[in-house]
Structure 1
Amino acid sequence: MIDFLLARIGSAIVTIFGASVLAFAVLRAVPTNPARLIAGPFANDEVIAQVTANLGLDKSLPVQYLDYVTSFFIGDWGFSYSAGQPVLSQITERLPASAELALYAFLFAFFGAVLVTVLVSFLNSRWLDRFLRLLSFISVGVPPFWLALLFLMVFFERLGWFPGPVGRGPAPTGLYTGLFTIDYLLAGDFAGFGTALHHLALPSIALALGPFGYLVRLLRANLLDIINEPFVTVLHAKGVAPISTHFRHILPNAFLPTLTAGGLILAQLLGGSVLVERIFVWPGIGTLVIDGILRQDYAVVQAFIMLSAIIYIGVNLLVDILYGYVDPRVRRS
């Protein structure tokens, strides 16, 4: 197990190195001088040269890259000149909003897909299976931003059941984690917890329906493959109870691809969902990055690329560790 973890950690380091090189190279390939953008259109050559020196853009590319990587890992993520504050402060301020939205969207998509698919496969109902297939196809094919607009038109404007595009709602008096639902629970304010969930409902469901449909299709296909395996026939012949066969033998064998896909979906959601955040005026990092791209704020974009790579690698490493607990074959190997 230790060798397995060391191999995965080594692979993660190589991947982070590749992401850092990509972020550094792509942004410097853009035919725009960041110093001129920061100095303004009326700055003379002397001012632009001074800004270039302050940014370290007058150094060689290898030295710039080493400065960039070193600064990132010591917590210096650069300065956002468009916002007038450090990038780390901006991301730290907005990351909890994106993390909370991603967490609830993932819970709905992953656990909802597993629960519904396993239940339908266990009941072995043709009509329920057809309905589930139809629902999964529709969920995968509909863009999240279109769902977000539809939800606002129906559930906010027409029915008035949910709040509109007003962001996260009122903040709790004491912020411990930055996640409103958890902070309300820690404060014992259950009314505030309900209000936070009320604001989270529409954007999280709009984000979750696509991954929900994908996970349903993936798990259903794997379950059907495993159900037809010879060992399942042997279990039935030995008189093993159907519920035990389904949940102790079929599901664990069919679950690994779903676990992998779930990890990738969680990492993707944690990276921010730009259009849905825009539509619901959600103060997450997706909106921050779009503003950084539009304003050509390279420090924000570079930090986001590195942060996204670390999130993806961290989640994948966690999924690899969970493999050993889900599948005994991985644990033995």
Structure 2
Amino acid sequence: MGRFLAERLWSAVLTVLGASIIAFVVLRALPTDPARLIAGPFASEDVLAQVRAQMGLDKPLVTQYLDYIVNFFTGDWGFSYAAGKDVLPLVAERLPASGELALFAFTIAFSLAVLLTVLVSYSGSRVLDGLLRAASFVGVGVPPFWISLLFLMLFFETLGWFPGPVGRGPAPPHVITGFYTFDYLLAGDIRGALTALRHLALPGFALSLASFGYLIRLLRANLLDVVHEPFITVLHSKGVPAFSAHFRHILPNAFLPTITAGGLILAQLLGGSVLVEQIFTWPGIGTLVIDGITRQDYAVVQAFILLSAVIYIVVNFAVDLLYGWIDPRVRRS
């Protein structure tokens, strides 16, 4: 197990370095001058030289890269000239909103996909299986932004069941975790928690639909593969009940790839869902990055790229550990 952890940790470190190099090179290859954007189009060369020196752009590229890495992991993510404040607190303000939305969408997608797929596969109904496949095609094929607009037209404009594109709603009196639902529950305010859930519902379900469809297709295909394995035939020949064979042997073997896919989906959602956040005026990191790209805010975009890479790596490292804990064959290999 120790070697397994060491290999995964070393792979995670190499991936972080690779992602940081790509982000560093791509941003410096863009045909824009950050100093010119900050100083203005009519700034003199002396002023531009001073701005470049303040930003560290006058140093060699290797030195800039080392400063970039060291500063990121020590908490110095640069200064946003568009927002007029440091990038780290700016991201820290927005990250809980994206995190709450991502976790809500992931919980909905993963739990419903697993529950429905397992029930339909156990029932053996061709009609239910056809409906499940149709739902997966809709989820994978329909863009989340279109579903978001459809949800707003139906559930907000027509029926009035849920709030419109007004963001997260009122903040709790004491923000502890940054997740409004949890903070209201910690304060014992059930009505406030329900209000926060109502604001989460439409963007969360719109965001979860694509993940829901993908997980259904993946788990269904894995279940069909495992059902035809020789050891399942042996189990049936020994008189093992269908329920026990399905839930103790078929499902655990088919579920492992779904865990890996779930980790990738969660990391993607945590990295920010730009279009859905824009449509619902959700004050998350996705809208922050869109504003940063629009304003050509160099520091914000640079920090977001590396932060997204770190989120992907941390989540997938945790999935690798979970995978190895569930399946001993992974540890032995």
In 1, distance between residues paired with 2:41 and 2:285?
28
Query: Distance between the aligned counterparts of 1:91 and 1:129, measured in 2?
Result: 43
- Deviation, structure 1 residue 294: 1.2
Taking the aligned partners of 2:115 and 2:325, their CA distance within structure 1 comes to 20
Matched, 1:311 2:333: no
Distance 1:296 1:279 in 2: 21
Structure 1 residues not aligned, in runs of 5+? none
Cα distance in 2, alignment partners of residues 255 and 325 from structure 1: 14
The question of whether the paired residues in 1 share the 8 Å contact of 2:155 and 2:161 is answered with yes
Q: Is the contact made by 1:106 and 1:208 (CA closer than 8 Å) also made in structure 2?
A: yes
CA distance in structure 1 between the partners assigned to 2:48 and 2:167 by the alignment: 39
Structure 2: distance between partners of 1:122 and 1:283: 42
Q: Partner residue of 1:235? A: 235
Whichever residue aligns with residue 63 of structure 1, its letter is: T
Q: Secondary structure at the match of 1:75?
A: coil
TM alignment of 1:115-264, pairs within 5 A: 115-264=115-264
Alpha-carbon separation, structure 1, partners of 2:324 and 2:19: 28
Residue 46 (structure 1) shift: 1.4
Aligned to 1:135, what secondary structure does the other structure show?
helix
Q: Can you list the C-alpha shifts for 1:273-298, whole angstroms capped at 9, x where unaligned?
A: 00000000000000101111111111
Residue 59 in structure 1 maps to residue 59 in structure 2 = yes
* 2:97 is aligned with 1:111: no
3-state DSSP class of the match of 1:120?
helix
Look up the SS of the partner of 1:232 in the other structure.
Answer: helix
Matches within 5 A, 1:5-44: 5-44=5-44
CA drift of 1:79 comes to 0.2
Q: What SS does the aligned partner of 2:32 have? A: coil
Deviations 1:194-243 (A, max 9, x none): 00000000000000010100100000000001011111111111111211
Q: Distance in 1 between matches of 2:332 and 2:29?
A: 47
Secondary structure in 1 aligned to 2:173?
A: coil
Change in 2 beyond 3 A, CA 1:332/1:65: closer
> 1:252·1:327 contact (CA, 8 Å) conserved in 2?
no
Is the deviation greater in 35-44 or in 112-121?
A: 35-44
> Within 1, Cα distance between the matches of 2:238 and 2:45?
85
Per-residue deviation at 1:68?
0.9
Give the unaligned 5+ runs of structure 2. none
In the aligned structure 2, how far is the partner of 1:301 from the partner of 1:329? 41
Query: What corresponds to 1:282 in structure 2?
Result: 282
Distance (whole Å) between structure 1 residues aligned to residue 251 and residue 46 of structure 2: 68
**Displacement of 1:331 after TM fit?**
4.7
In structure 1, what residue type is equivalent to 2:95?
L
Partner SS for 2:175: coil
Tell me by how many angstroms 1:244 deviates: 1.1
Instruction: Give secondary structure in 1 for the equivalent of 2:301.
Output: helix
State the TM-score, normalized to the length of structure 1.
0.98
- Alignment correspondent of 2:89: 89
Cα offset for 1:332? 5.1
Q: 1:93-127 CA deviation, whole Å, 9 max, x = no partner?
A: 00000000000000011111011000100011111
How large is the Cα RMSD of the aligned pairs? Answer: 0.9
Distance 1:273 1:136, change over 3 A: same
Amino acid at match of 1:219: L
Alignment of 1:71-86 (within 5 A): 71-86=71-86
- Contact 1:105–1:207 under 8 Å retained in 2: yes
1:185 alignment partner AA: L
Q: Is the CA contact (8 Å cut-off) linking 1:163 and 1:199 kept in structure 2?
A: yes
Runs of 4+ with >4 A deviation: none
CA contact (8 A) 2:4 2:331 kept: no
- Matches of 1:201 and 1:157 in 2, distance apart? 15
Conserved? CA contact 1:16–1:310, under 8 Å: yes
CA contact (8 A) 1:252 1:326 kept: no
| Residue in structure 1 matched with residue 49 of structure 2 by the alignment | 49
Q: Quick one: distance in 1 between partners of 2:65 and 2:197?
A: 43
